[in-house]
Structure 1
Amino acid sequence: MSFDLGPALLFVPGDRPERLTKALERADAAILDLEDAVAADAKATARDALIRADPDPDRVIVRVNGVETPDFAHDLSALARTRVRTVMLAKTEDPASLDLLQGYEVIALCETARGVVHAEQLAAVPHVVGLMWGAEDLVASLGGTSSRGEDGGYRDVARLARARVLLAAGAFGKGAVDAVHVDIGDLDGLAAEARDAAASGFAATACIHPGQVQTIRAAYAPTPEVLAWARGVLAAAEGERGVFRHEGRMIDEPILRHARSVVERAG
C-alpha cells in the first residue's frame, strides 16, 4: 500500500461488507472501518465479515480500534486471517504501541491532543507509512464541542493540528491524509478544503460518502491552465542552469519541484 493510488479514500462500515465492492469501483482506495462506524454489539460481526471478504490488500486499508480497547486484540486476530497488510490505527498516541503492529504498514490516526503532540514521533516509526488527522475526536479530547466556527471553517486548534500532522509526515517522507468533511451535502466546502489539501501537500483526503469522491478527485487534479504552466516551466528548465526567468517569473528549484508535483498529480 502506498499513497500513489489516488486522492480519494472512502470509509466503509465494517459491518456493511456489501458496500466494499461499490466503494472500490468509485474511490481510489477503501478504508474498512472496524472502529467508530461499527456499534459495540456489531464489532464481532464486522470482524467475521472482514475474514470472509479477505479484501484486496492493494486497495483496502482496515481501521482497527485503539490499542487501549479490548477490541484491538480481536481486530488483529481477524486481520491475521486476511491478506490485508495496511492498517489505520485509531487514536494513535504512543509510538511504542506501534510495536504491536509489526509486519503491517500503518497509517497513524492522530485524533486526540496527545496524538497530535506526538505526531513527529509517530511519523518516525519505520513501519508507519502515513499520518491522518481527525477533527471531531481531537476537539472532543480537549473538552470542546465543535471543530468549526459559525462560518464553517476550522477553529484555530483544528487548523494547527492539521498543519502539524502534515509537517510531521513530510519531515519523515510519509504520506498525509486530510480529515473527512462531515457535512455530506456541502460539496463546495469539501472542494475548497480538498484544493487546499492538494496545494499544501496532502497525499489524499478521506471521505464518508461516495458522493464526495468525485469532488475530491477534481480538487486534486490540476486545472488545464496550471498543468500547461507546469509543463512549460519544466520544458524551459531543460535549457537552463540554476535560476532563470520564465513568463516574467523567477524560477528556481523549489518552483520546479512545485511544477513536478503538478504534473505528477495530473498523471
Structure 2
Amino acid sequence: MSFLMGPALLFCPADRPERYQKAAERADTVIVDLEDAVAPADKQRARGAILAQLGAAGDVPELDPSRTIIRVNPAGTDEFEKDMHCLKHTPYRHIMLAKAENAAQLKELEGYSVIALCETAVGVLNAAAIAAEPNVVALMWGAEDLLASLGGTSSRTENGDYRAVALHARSTVLLAAGAFGKDAIDAVYVNIPDLAGLAVEARDAVASGFSSKACIHPDQVAVVREAYAPTEAEVAAAAELLDAAAAAGTGVFQFKGKMIDGPILKHAESTLRRAGRTV
C-alpha cells in the first residue's frame, strides 16, 4: 500500500552524514533525523549535510529516496520551515512529521508522503483525524515525548513494562492507522543493550498488527527482522490451513479440533505475506 520498506526502520542523525550509507545498508528504511537527534545549534549544519550528499545535478543522492524518510521538526516552528525549504531542493518526498497534532498540519504538506508521529497528548487524541488525511501513509507513536507532554517522568515501570497511559496511546495509534488502512510503526526501544527485551516487544508488535518497528541502533535491526519473519513451521501451518479452507469450501469449518472462520484465515494470510508469499 505504501512505500515503506519494513520491517526495520533505523534512525540516523542528519548531522552525521558519514553514517547515512551504513544505516541504509543495515536497515530496510533509513530515517534521517533533523529533530531530536540533532542539537539546536547543529540543525543548520544537518540540513547542509542532506544537501551536500546530493549529486552535482542535485538529483542523484547517495540515499535511495524510495527507502529514505526525513524526520522534520514540529509544524509551526522556525526549524520546520527551514527543514521544508531544504527538502524542496532534494528528491526526498517521504517525511516524518514530529509531534503531529492535527489534520490541518498534514493538509499543508501536500506533495509529500507523511508518517505522522503522534507523541503528544493532543496528537494521540487526534490520531484518527490525522490518519484520515490522504497524504498520510503511516502513523507512529512515541512514548517518552508523550509522557513529557503529560508532565510525567518515564513511560515504563521499574520492570521495563509500559505504563498504562503509554499502552493506551500505542493502541490508539494502531487502531487509528488500521481504521484508515494506513501502516502503523511501533515506537523505538530505548534500552539498546537489552536485545531480549526488544525481541519480546517486537514479537508483540507483529502479533498486534504493527507493520514495522523503528530502531535507534544498528544492532536492533536483526532482532526486529527476526521477530517479523515467520518460522518455517508457522509458514507451513498457515499454508496447510488455507489449503484446508479451500477444500472445505464453507465459511466455518473444523480443522485439527479447532473452529476456523474468516478472522483465523486472515491471520494465516498475514503470516504468508510476512514470509513473502503471494496470498
1:220-239 matches, cutoff 5 A: 220-239=228-247
- Moved beyond 6 Å, runs of 4+: none
Counterpart residue identity of residue 190, structure 2: V
1:2-151 matches, cutoff 5 A: 2=2, 5-53=5-53, 54=61, 55-151=63-159
1:99 deviation in Å?
1.9
Question: Which residue does the alignment assign to 1:261?
Answer: 270
Contact between 1:222 and 1:265, CA under 8 Å: does it hold in 2? Answer: yes
SS of structure 2 residue aligned to 1:239 = helix
Worse-superposed segment, 248-257 or 208-217: 248-257
Unmatched 5+ stretches in structure 1: none
1:143 deviation in Å?
0.2
Contact between 1:3 and 1:175, CA under 8 Å: does it hold in 2? Answer: no
Counterpart residue identity of residue 35, structure 2: E
* TM-score, normalization by structure 2: 0.94
The alignment of Structure 1 onto Structure 2 pairs a total of residues equal to: 267
Q: Distance in 1 between matches of 2:206 and 2:230?
A: 9
SS of structure 1 residue aligned to 2:38 = coil
Question: Which residue does the alignment assign to 1:249?
Answer: 258
Q: Distance in 2 between matches of 1:246 and 1:70?
A: 60
Structure 1 residues 38 and 95, CA gap change in structure 2 (3 angstroms): same
Counterpart residue identity of residue 257, structure 2: G
Contact between 1:56 and 1:83, CA under 8 Å: does it hold in 2? Answer: no
1:4 deviation in Å?
5.2
Unmatched 5+ stretches in structure 2: 54-60
Q: RMSD over aligned Cα, in angstroms?
A: 1.1
SS of structure 1 residue aligned to 2:96 = strand
Question: Which residue does the alignment assign to 1:187?
Answer: 195
Q: Any idea what the Cα deviations from partners look like across 1:20-76, whole Å, max 9, x if unmatched?
A: 111111100000000000011110111111112233211000000001211011100
SS of structure 1 residue aligned to 2:247 = coil
Contact between 1:3 and 1:204, CA under 8 Å: does it hold in 2? Answer: no
Q: Distance in 1 between matches of 2:212 and 2:190?
A: 16
Q: Any idea what the Cα deviations from partners look like across 1:135-184, whole Å, max 9, x if unmatched?
A: 00000000000000011000000000000000000000000000000000
Which one of the candidate residues 152, 170, 174 is aligned to 1:162?
A: 170
Q: Any idea what the Cα deviations from partners look like across 1:217-243, whole Å, max 9, x if unmatched?
A: 001111222222111111112212211
1:106 deviation in Å?
0.4
- Percent identical: 60
Contact between 1:91 and 1:115, CA under 8 Å: does it hold in 2? Answer: yes
Q: Distance in 2 between matches of 1:132 and 1:226?
A: 28
